[in-house]
Amino acid sequence: MTLVGELGFVFVAGLITALATGLGAIPFFFFDDISARGNVVLWGVASGIMVTASLLGLVDEGLAEGALWEVGVGAVLGVALVVLAHEVLVDADVDARDYEEADFKKLLLILGVLTVHSFPEGVAVGVSFADLGLEGGMQLFGATIPALAVFMTVAISIHNVPEGAAVSIPLRALGVPEWKMVWWAVFSSLPQPIGAVIAFAFVRLARDVLPIGFGFAAGAMVYLVVSEFLPEALAVGTALPYGGKRELVAGVALGVAVMLPLAYV
């Protein structure tokens, strides 16, 4: 497979994860709303999936490819980039409600904000494809695909479903049609295929930095969980008994339980 073919393959994998976000809007075709309790559980599931994928997938593979310090440096860089991006966009926070009312220029700004959240997930998919076409992988669609790539693509796709639901909830309150909710959910993850291609090209052309790349993606994703997902879940669950902590823990446990079997397939 040529480099162009490989880049196309990775782009499709990233696009699959983005499209999976649209599945989060599907319940609204059948139900009017998702309760605060259900919303907290969904944030917990997304968090559990992301942390498990980061530790058992990216960090584990990074340690197999290089030294602990290399993975650690990558993790610090991943956290630093997310923090820096947040500082740059500190006055550009957006809500899903803004999507419907935004002009083209505003949508570009929104996409920039979304990149902070979605790009690290795309990077995780991209670096997981570093051994694409090499021996030892799984045969799929006529190509040899690393088992880690399958694991990360599935993990990020499942993780994106609750994120799609979170995007759809405020849009439902505005009376936005269901099919447009699906589109806006997918839109929120559009940076992922771009991030996947950039990360894959980088680690493929600079193989020595692969352990740092694994650490980078893991650090960025875990930091997003700690700094955004968990606080968002607790904010949603404020009115619930114990502040929604029980639902959050249950959701995290469910997310971990979903991913553990996949990690050892």
The residues spanned by each domain of the chain are: 3-26+61-220
Which one-letter amino acid corresponds to residue 23? L
Residue 105 pLDDT? 62
Greatest extent of the chain over all pairs of C-alpha atoms, in Å: 56
With a CB cutoff of 8 Å and minimum separation 6, the contacts of 192 are 14, 15, 17, 18, 118, 119, 121, 122, 125, 156
CA distance 210 to 71: 9
pTM of this structure? 0.85
Residue 62 pLDDT? 92
Residue 257 pLDDT? 92
Burial code (b: 16+ CB inside 10 Å, e: under 16) for 203-218 equals bbeeeebbbbbbbbbb
Which one-letter amino acid corresponds to residue 149? A
Residue 97 pLDDT? 60
**117 touches 224 (CB < 8 A):** yes
Q: What are the pLDDT digits (tens) for 3-48?
A: 778 888 899 999 999 999 999 889 888 877 788 888 899 899 989 9
Q: Which of 95-99, 147-151, 157-161, 177-181 has the lowest mean pLDDT?
A: 95-99
Q: What are the pLDDT digits (tens) for 198-223?
A: 999 988 888 888 999 999 999 999 99
Summary mean pLDDT of the chain: 84
Instruction: Grade residue 103 by pLDDT with cuts at 50, 70 and 90.
Output: low
Distance of CA 57 to the CA centre of its chain: 14
Torsion angle of alpha carbons 47, 90, 24, 174, nearest 10°? Answer: 140
Please indicate whether residue 85 or residue 11 has the higher confidence score (pLDDT): 11
Indicate if the pLDDT at residue 71 is higher than 90. yes
> Are β-strands 143-145 and 138-140 bridged in parallel, bridged antiparallel, or unpaired?
antiparallel
Residue 38 pLDDT? 87
144, two tokens:
């040899």
Residue 85 pLDDT? 78
